[in-house]
Amino acid sequence: MLPSPHSAQTCETDGAPPQHPVPPHVKMFGIAIHQVTMDDAIDWGLKRMQGPAGPCELVFTPNVDHIVQLNQNLQLRDAYGLAGLVVADGWPVVTASRWLKKALPARVAGSDLVPALIAAGASQHNPRIFLLGGATGVAEKAAARIRQRWPKAEIVGTDSPPFGFETQDDENQRIVAKVNESAPDLLVVGFGAPKQELWLARHRSQLNAKIAVAAGGTIDFLAGHQTRAPRWAQQARLEWLHRMLTNPRRLAGRYLKGAIVFPRLVIREYRTAADQ
């Protein structure tokens, strides 16, 4: 059984950190966040998707909710330490980095990065993609829409694990075996945070996938079950408001907690740096 998300124990993880060269990074909120643009992240992912098989590279996309969880969840911090690429998925994180004089160049949203990787891969070869997560039938619908939009993309598998799967060894091994049989270039995991990050950290060394993106609700977006904010709202940095208004029961409490806790964490980060 998995330890409690707020346990003081460290996360039991498989494997060592990735061996590939990584982009420059800044250290904030107890984790390393890479200083990359969307183009940088696509280039990083595409090289690994097209490269030889090796240890699975993890891609994590911290937003305000992640930062709040990282404050208490040492297992999640350990999981982040195994990621090959960590990109800021949220304007508040980017803005805080600039205020702290640890500037990140851009927001790289996971829900933008995944389709961009699929598009880039499909323009050069036939990328093998596995969609893991979402409610029953959602991954299959996302797969159909991906095939329609990017015919050269090969969906080699989908799976929607049942509730509580992470506590069941047999179920976890079934998932790993199904992924490995497909040998995807890109594994898209949508369990939600912190479950997706902890699961990937624990099973990374067992996974026969070139890269795995902890992608939150991206599978739902790809399936059309959730809609992204209009482009103008994204540019105005109001995507959080669109998401809250379209899914208030799930997100209102999370965003309220983030609005209270995140500024305190930024101030603490500033004071810690000033004391050094």
Tens-digit pLDDT profile for residues 188-231: 999 999 999 999 999 999 999 999 999 999 999 999 987 766 77
Distances (CA, A) of 149 to 23, 123, 154, 165, 222: 31, 12, 12, 31, 10
Distances (CA, A) of 67 to 40, 123, 248, 250, 256: 23, 35, 21, 18, 14
Domain boundaries, the chain: 25-228
- Pairing relationship of beta strands 154-159 and 128-133 according to DSSP bridges: parallel
Q: What is the pLDDT of residue 253?
A: 80
Contact predicate 210/49, CB 8 Å:
yes
Q: What is the pLDDT of residue 20?
A: 59
Q: Which residues pair with 214 in a beta bridge?
A: 189
CA–CA dist 10, 12 (Å, integer): 6
Contact predicate 138/222, CB 8 Å:
no
* 259/101: higher pLDDT: 101
Q: What is the pLDDT of residue 12?
A: 47
In tens, the pLDDT along 69-94 reads 999 999 999 999 999 999 999 899 99
pTM listed for this prediction = 0.89
Share of the chain above pLDDT 70, in %: 89
- Indicate if the pLDDT at residue 261 is higher than 50: yes
- Indicate if the pLDDT at residue 2 is higher than 80: no
Q: What is the pLDDT of residue 251?
A: 72
Q: What is the pLDDT of residue 10?
A: 37
In tens, the pLDDT along 143-199 reads 999 999 999 999 999 999 999 999 999 999 999 999 999 999 999 999 999 999 999
Q: What is the pLDDT of residue 259?
A: 87
Residue with tokens 């799967």: 165
- Residue 161 carries which side chain, given as an amino acid letter? P
The count of other CB atoms within 10 Å of the CB of residue 154 is 18
- Indicate if the pLDDT at residue 46 is higher than 60: yes
Q: Please give the distance of CA 175 from its chain centroid, rounded to a whole number.
A: 18
Q: At what angle do helices 110-124 and 38-50 cross, to 10 degrees?
A: 50
Burial of residue 119 (number of CB atoms within 10 Å: 0-12, 13-18, 19+): middle
Q: What is the pLDDT of residue 42?
A: 98
CA–CA dist 120, 238 (Å, integer): 27
Whether CATH 3.30.200 fits 25-228: no
Arithmetic mean of pLDDT over the chain: 89
CA–CA dist 68, 47 (Å, integer): 32
Q: What is the pLDDT of residue 242?
A: 63
- Indicate if the pLDDT at residue 8 is higher than 80: no
